[in-house]
Amino acid sequence: MRSIVVFCGSSEGNDPKILQKASVLGATLANKGIILIYGAAKIGVMGKIAEASLEKGGEVIGVIPDFLKAKEVVHPGLSELIITKNMHERKLKMHELSEGVIALPGGYGTLEEFFEMITWAQLGLHQKPIGILNVGGFYDPLLSMLKKMVDKGFLKKENLDMLLIDRTVEGLLYQMEHYRPPTVPKWINKEQV
């Protein structure tokens, strides 16, 4: 993999382990020669991962909508900054630039971006590996909810199994490098159109 988009919080939160793991991920991506694509912020978890990657000589591409750039949150030392018209264009650009997706802890925006990518995979629009770096069990409640969706018949187990989950950076990257997308029947066939 040559590039990974990381979705994560623009806030630092209150758990220093999350910031530390973001730094480890940023440095590891740089050491492996993997381009980091992220939301371009100099603040929060986003700022930590970018800073760690840049300090190790990594290439970091930030993608931000114009209205957020105006709030002066853009990291000044990025390898490249791409400005989009809106949030939808931002996600599409991040998707186009990346060969894999990782979610670190974050809030609504992180979940929204992450779920759009996994939904696109479920619909067969891409076959990129999608991982959750489950720092300190942050995503355990969400993973329980996803399992309940399978149990209640709203999500196919094959689609849940597309998610790669690990608590370590190296473990998650290993899974992503060796990912083989499942063969899942399409949602809609020609007879249904």
Q: For residue 56, which of 75, 76, 28 has the smallest C-alpha distance? A: 28
Q: Which of 167, 181, 87, 157 is nearest to 134 (CA)?
A: 167
Looking at the DSSP bridge assignments, the partners of residue 131 are: 102, 164
The tens-digit pLDDT sequence of the chain (193 residues) is 999 999 999 999 999 999 999 999 999 999 999 999 999 999 999 999 999 999 999 999 999 999 888 666 899 999 999 999 999 999 999 999 999 999 999 999 999 999 999 999 999 999 999 999 999 999 999 999 999 999 999 999 999 999 999 999 999 999 999 999 887 665 555 555 4
pTM reported for the whole predicted model: 0.93
Cα distance between residue 159 and residue 84, in whole Å? 30
Which domains does the chain show, CATH number per domain? 3-177 (3.40.50.450)
